[in-house]
């Protein structure tokens, strides 16, 4: 039954293409108050609906709706009580029509579709303005103003290329780049497969996105390589794991390990698939599997636990320095804060997500409701900045009591740089995202990836491998292992020497006893003959 619906929908879709000759206006007979684009020439109202219909098709290939009879969008599958074959008017300015069409899209996608429709309307208005311009209408050899579904191209000079900034709503588009459209020497736009064609290849940033993805993966894998041995070291030594600060480090590192592991899986299975899979309908994002949403939730949750454990580290150290004589005795509340608090607002966000935008692997934005996650994370970051400033104030106060000791200043400076990755202060520089139309936004994005995803690597190096107490424990272990090997080797050597000595003594005793048994037969011939006869008799008995 599904295949039958698909056949019907495809048949209607291509049938709608065949009626363009009857619904569009003949360019040779009427050029007033008409707008043109790759599918034909239409009146302004019909042009607007037609451009909205095809904006949907170009922007969201594989979605539930297909363009049909210029003005409509045809439903392909069952949706919200609507059966396949129903048509929706492609009018973004009509609240009812817009609501029906946008019910198949997310909020962000709906806004993108509306933007594309409005750009089409503006292009038609520009064409009408050009038509009323006497100087423009006298130029009959140039390529005319046209709409290609993404951009509005002004009239081009024959034999030249026209360039326009890439549209911001095109997927993977870099707005600072330019699309190309060729005007042939005969005054017509270049056609491909029988239709006017524009080259948007320069707009797409697949390769740049891949490079950014690989940088992110490299930083995350490097962090895991350092974090996992650090956890093993902290857990292996009882003298370390008994300390409260080491217990905090263990939980903090565990959060980073989980976060980096989930993000590596996400980048490999979802992001890389989206960038490299040429068939949109085969990507995990389009399939929208439950596993994909589970990964999205875990990715979101462990990212939030990173912030809460950074806050726990900052709060503990601040209390320890501000009130050194009464350090925290129990960490139960800290554990609940680090793991439990993020779970509460992540679950709240998940409920909102399921109700409002439960699609595309939760990749689309919820707009202002994203602050359900942003607000707690930002609060943790702001509080850690306060803790760092307070700790530095205390250290500087102590410096004033011993102004002649330069080592104190070095200690304070060292403490500042050491605490920056632990408190996540570097993340404050990544809160504001540079708009994609800025020329250096790609480089900023890559620097942001390095600063964000290499935090686990730095905290593992500073608080484990470069830690004096940890180094002491590792040296003791190495010395103990070497001593055990030396002791074991000397014991084996002593055992070998003893065995060889005992074997030699045994051989000597055996030879001596044999000699002693033979000596009585040597002096006298009679005794010799007696011994010989005894031997002969003994052999006969045998």
pLDDT, position 183: 92
Pick the residue with more confidence: 149 or 182?
182
User: What confidence score (pLDDT) does residue 18 get?
Assistant: 41
Residue 504 pLDDT:
56
Which of 263, 322, 324, 326 shows the shortest CA–CA distance to 454?
Answer: 263
Of 134-148, 150-164, 215-229, highest mean pLDDT = 215-229
For 474, the token pair is 């590792």
pLDDT exceeds 60 at position 22:
no
Structure tokens at 180: 């190309």
- Comparing 311 with 490, which gets the higher pLDDT? 311
Q: Measure the CA–CA gap between 381 and 388, rounded to whole angstroms.
A: 11
Residue scoring higher pLDDT (142 or 256)? 256
Rounded to 10 degrees, the C-alpha dihedral 157/160/161/162 comes to: -20
Region 99-112: mean pLDDT is: 81
Residue 206 tokens, joined: 């697949």
CATH class entry, domain 206-475? mainly alpha
Listed range (325-329, 498-502, 538-542) with the worst mean pLDDT: 538-542
CATH code given to domain 140-204: 4.10.1240.10
- Mean pLDDT value across residues 318-347: 88
Q: Work out the pLDDT band at 506, boundaries 50, 70, 90.
A: low
Q: How far apart are CA 78 and CA 12, in angstroms?
A: 17
pLDDT, position 83: 65
Task: Supply the pLDDT for residue 409.
Answer: 67
- For the cut 70, the answer to whether the pLDDT of residue 81 exceeds it is no
At 221 the pLDDT is 97
Q: Which H helix or E strand runs over 178?
A: strand 178-183
147: left (phi over 0), alpha (psi -120 to 50) or beta: beta
Does residue 124 register a pLDDT over 60?
yes
Whole-number mean pLDDT of the chain?
Answer: 78
Question: What's the token pair of residue 401?
Answer: 């009591």
What is the arithmetic mean of pLDDT over 193-215? 84
Residue 507 has pLDDT above 70, yes or no: no
Confidence of residue 24 (pLDDT cuts 50, 70, 90): very low
**Range 194-200, long-range pairs (CB < 8 A, 24+ positions):** 195/38, 195/39, 196/37, 196/38, 196/146, 196/148, 198/148, 198/150, 198/151, 198/153, 200/150, 200/166, 200/170, 200/173
Count other Cβ atoms within 10 Å, centred on residue 216: 22
Is the pLDDT at 305 greater than 50? The verdict is yes
Locate all alpha helices (DSSP H) within 328-370, ordered by sequence.
Answer: 332-335, 341-356
Domain ranges (residues) in the chain: 1-138, 140-204, 206-475
- Radius of gyration from C-alpha coordinates of the chain: 40
The percentage of residues in the chain with a pLDDT greater than 90, rounded to a whole number, is 30
pLDDT band at 107 (very low <50, low <70, confident <90, very high): confident
191-201 residues labelled b (16+ CB within 10 A) or e (exposed): eeeeebebebe
How many Å apart are CA 456 and CA 426, to the nearest integer?
12
The predicted structure's pLDDT at residue 430: 85
Per-residue pLDDT of 48-61, as tens digits, reads 888 888 888 888 87
Kind of pairing between the strands at 195-196 and 178-183: unpaired
How far is Cα 479 from Cα 264, in angstroms, rounded to an integer?
Answer: 37
pLDDT at 127: 85
End-to-end Cα distance, the chain: 103
pLDDT of 229 > 60? The answer is: yes
Mean pLDDT in residue range 107-130:
85
For the cut 80, the answer to whether the pLDDT of residue 375 exceeds it is yes
* Average confidence (pLDDT) over 207-228: 93
Task: Give 255's pLDDT tier (boundaries 50, 70, 90).
Answer: very high
What is the pLDDT, as a whole number, of residue 284? Answer: 84
Q: Give the lowest-confidence range in 200-209, 258-267, 336-345, 499-508.
A: 499-508
Q: Is the pLDDT of residue 508 over 90?
A: no
Residues forming beta bridges with residue 40, ordered by sequence position: 37
Residue 2 clears pLDDT 50, i.e. is over it? no
Residue 136 has pLDDT above 60, yes or no: no
Q: Please state, in angstroms and rounded to a whole number, the distance separating the CA atoms of residues 233 and 227.
A: 10
Q: What is the pLDDT of residues 377-421, one digit of tens each?
A: 999 999 999 999 999 888 888 777 766 665 666 777 777 888 999
Q: Are 302 and 339 in contact (CB under 8 A)?
A: no
CB-hemisphere CA count at 13 Å for 315?
A: 19
Decide if 47 contacts 128 (C-beta within 8 A). no
| Minimum mean pLDDT range among 17-21, 197-201, 382-386, 463-467 | 17-21
- Is the confidence at residue 86, as pLDDT, over 60? yes
Cα distance between residue 269 and residue 361, in whole Å:
12
Segment among 187-196, 219-228, 247-256 with least mean pLDDT? 187-196
The pLDDT confidence band at residue 334, using thresholds 50, 70 and 90, is very high
**Rounded-to-integer distance, Cα 287 and Cα 392, Å:** 51
Distance in angstroms (rounded) separating the CA atoms of residues 23 and 21: 6
**Residues 165-182: pLDDT tens digits?**
888 777 767 666 788 999
542 pLDDT band, cuts 50/70/90, is very low
What pLDDT is recorded for position 250?
Answer: 96
Helix (H) or strand (E) holding 147: strand 146-147
Q: Which of 39, 95, 94 minimizes the C-alpha distance to 67?
A: 39
Q: What is the pLDDT of residues 277-294, one digit of tens each?
A: 777 667 888 787 899 999
**Rounded-to-integer distance, Cα 453 and Cα 129, Å:** 52
Residue 113 CA, chain-centre distance (Å), reads: 27
């Amino acid at each position: 039954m599904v295949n039958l619906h698909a056949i019907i929908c495809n048949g209607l879709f291509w049938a709608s293409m065949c009626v363009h000759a009857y619904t569009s206006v003949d360019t040779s007979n009427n050029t007033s108050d008409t707008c043109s684009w790759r599918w034909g020439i239409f009146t302004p109202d019909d042009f607007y609906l037609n451009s909205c219909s095809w904006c949907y098709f170009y922007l969201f290939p594989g979605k539930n709706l297909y363009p049909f009879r210029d003005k409509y969008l045809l439903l392909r599958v069952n949706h919200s009580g609507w059966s396949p074959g129903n048509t929706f008017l492609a009018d973004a300015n009509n609240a009812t029509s817009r609501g029906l069409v946008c019910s198949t899209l997310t909020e962000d996608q709906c806004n993108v579709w509306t933007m594309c429709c409005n750009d089409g309307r503006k292009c038609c208005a520009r064409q009408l303005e050009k038509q009323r311009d006497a100087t423009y209408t006298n130029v009959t050899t140039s390529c005319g103003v046209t709409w290609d579904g993404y951009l509005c191209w002004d009239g081009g000079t024959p034999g030249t290329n026209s360039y326009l900034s890439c549209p911001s709503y095109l997927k993977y588009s870099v707005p600072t780049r330019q699309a190309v459209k060729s005007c042939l020497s005969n005054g017509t736009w270049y056609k491909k497969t029988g239709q006017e064609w524009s080259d948007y290849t320069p707009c797409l940033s697949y390769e740049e996105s891949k490079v950014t993805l690989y940088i992110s993966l490299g930083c995350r894998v490097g962090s895991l390589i350092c974090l996992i041995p650090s956890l093993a070291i902290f857990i292996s030594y009882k003298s370390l794991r008994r300390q409260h600060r080491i217990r905090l480090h263990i939980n903090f590192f565990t959060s980073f390990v989980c976060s980096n592991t989930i993000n590596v899986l996400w980048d490999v299975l979802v992001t890389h698939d989206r960038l490299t899979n040429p068939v949109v309908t085969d990507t995990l994002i389009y399939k929208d599997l439950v596993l994909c949403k589970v990964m999205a939730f875990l990715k979101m949750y462990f990212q939030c636990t990173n912030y809460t454990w950074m806050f726990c580290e900052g709060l503990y150290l601040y209390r320890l320095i501000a009130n050194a004589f009464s350090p925290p005795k129990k960490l139960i509340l800290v554990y609940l804060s680090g793991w439990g608090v993020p779970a509460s607002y992540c679950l709240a966000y998940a409920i909102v997500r399921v109700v409002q935008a439960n699609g595309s692997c939760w990749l689309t934005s919820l707009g202002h409701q994203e602050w359900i996650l942003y607000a707690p994370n930002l609060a943790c970051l702001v509080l850690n900045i306060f803790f760092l400033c307070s700790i530095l104030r205390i250290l500087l106060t102590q410096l004033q009591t011993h102004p002649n000791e330069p080592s104190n200043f070095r200690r304070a400076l060292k403490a500042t740089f050491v605490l920056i990755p632990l408190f996540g202060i570097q993340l404050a520089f990544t809160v504001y995202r540079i708009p994609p139309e800025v020329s250096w936004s790609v480089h900023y994005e890559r620097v942001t990836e390095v600063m964000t995803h290499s935090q686990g690597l730095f905290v593992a190096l500073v608080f484990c491998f470069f830690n004096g107490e940890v180094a002491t424990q590792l040296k003791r272990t190495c010395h103990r292992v070497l001593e055990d090997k030396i002791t074991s080797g000397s014991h084996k050597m002593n055992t070998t020497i003893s065995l060889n000595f005992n074997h030699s003594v045994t051989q000597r005793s055996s030879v001596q006893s044999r000699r002693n048994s033979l000596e009585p037969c040597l002096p006298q011939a009679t005794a010799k003959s007696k011994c010989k006869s005894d031997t002969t008799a003994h052999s006969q008995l045998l």
